[in-house]
Structure 1
Amino acid sequence: MLRATFGRGWLAVAFGILFLASQIKIATILHGADASHLLFAFQFSFNADAFAGLLQTISPEQRAGLQAHFVFDHIHPLWYGGLIVTLAAWLIKQNQLAGQWDLLILLGVIPSVMDVIENSIHEPLFLGTSLPTDPAVTIAAICATIKWSTALGYLLLAIALGIRAAKRQHEETREQKRTA
């Protein structure tokens, strides 16, 4: 049912376009504030002292850029979560894989959920409306680690399934030509 509902190439392309547009906008905001590298440093700060120390070293422009990126980063998980889910469903369908593979479609929302949790912790810290604590900063860093690791896993899966589907298509085409 999941692959039938979400496994449509056009849907994956639509989410891919939305993801790229959103990613470019976020990157432009962060790059314009010279804060691109800082986002990763904050995401992988596992304790409050490291986070607070880093926060004290940034310029007002960098802080403003980090704050401004949230305007788009609040909706961004929807775009890449949709891309992961629809692309996984479409590739699983194209490869005619067994039903248990549908679990990967469902689990494709994990990076988005982790990003939402991470953002809900980081945004108040960048806005100065809360202070970094070890539990909050550690949870955000764990969420970022899970988000990036899972997204990388899905990227590798998409490449592997894409190659497999292309090979299957090539073999089927060759077989049709041979029998014609």
Structure 2
Amino acid sequence: MKRKTRFLLAGLASVGGAVTGASLLHNRRSDRREHLYVTVFSEPGYRGLNERLTWSGGAREVVPLARVRLPRIGSIRLERLAYRFRPEVRLPNVYVLWQALTERPDRTDPEGGVASFIAMHQLAGVFSVGSWEPVRASEARSGVRLWSGRPSKAASGEAGDPGALPRHDVLADTPDLGSWSTRTRYLELGYHDGPRG
């Protein structure tokens, strides 16, 4: 076996081992982050003007209603994505790979390096490490919390009617927010006390 071929096979084996090990560690992490995409509509039933907000994990983000640029929020639609490692090996065309390894470069042939180019392209696609996938509502860990007052004050009970809850959690698509349509002053995007995956 040629030295060049041995190096290539050793490189493929080491990359495959690293990808598999990383996937096992990542999929077992309890702190796996979700990306949350929130579409807020000015009217119930997902109608009227709309604005899309994005939260990519980490600390909670508080968004004032004025920044959303809607007079009120009548309905909310949520979409969550999580990156899942799912290693997949797609073997390259053996004939093309062999041609690329054994051919001698000919500078006078304009198509002399085509086999090498195709082989490198196929080798780059050998390992697929995963993709962004939708998160089912039952496994979701993120959502939107609606606040009737500034979150820091409302949490300590200073804002709003003392008998009313100063916040409302939205963890699934909600076609009609009811009284929260006019009560909402702030939206908080992030992890909440909903289901944990």
Q: TM-score, normalized by length of structure 1? A: 0.29
Q: Which structure: greater helix fraction?
A: 1
Instruction: Name which one, 1 or 2, has greater alpha-carbon Rg.
Output: 2
Q: Which structure: greater strand fraction?
A: 2
Identify which of structures 1 and 2 has the higher relative contact order when contacts are C-alpha pairs closer than 8 Å and 6+ apart. Answer: 1
